[in-house]
Amino acid sequence: MIYVFKCNTCKKPTPFVHMVEYDSGEEAIVVECQRCLNTGVRVRIEALDDKKVVRCQQCGAWKMEAENCYTKCKKTNVPSV
């Protein structure tokens, strides 16, 4: 599952993937930032639900709907997914 949190490293709201292989209780979840790969424990209630996450049409990476893809897919001519 994808959540949006403000990343401590990136300093902006970014998509985080819930890492279900780690047991962290009911309220907290272990997540990984999709921009910088920073991993940590977050509380579900702190997720930003006013942001929309979509897949990049070029490379398939998760990204914020209103932002450009953070990967280099546009520069490396990766074929569309």
How many folded domains does the chain comprise? 1
Residue 38 domain boundaries: 2-76
For residue 35, give Cα distances in angstroms to 23, 54, 61, 62.
Answer: 23, 14, 9, 9
User: 3-state class of 65 per DSSP?
Assistant: coil
Which pLDDT belongs to residue 39? 94
What is the pLDDT at residue 79? Answer: 56
Taking alpha carbons only, the member of 74, 73, 72, 54 closest to residue 64 is 54
What six digits make up the tokens of 48? 């930003």
Q: Within a domain: residue 62?
A: yes
Q: What is the pLDDT, as a whole number, of residue 30?
A: 96
How confident is the model over 63-72, as pLDDT tens digits?
Answer: 888 888 887 6
Q: What are the average pLDDT values for consecutive 10-residue runs of the chain, which has 81 residues?
A: 91 92 89 93 89 86 84 60 50
For residue 81, is it within any domain? no
Predicted confidence at residue 60, as pLDDT, reads: 84
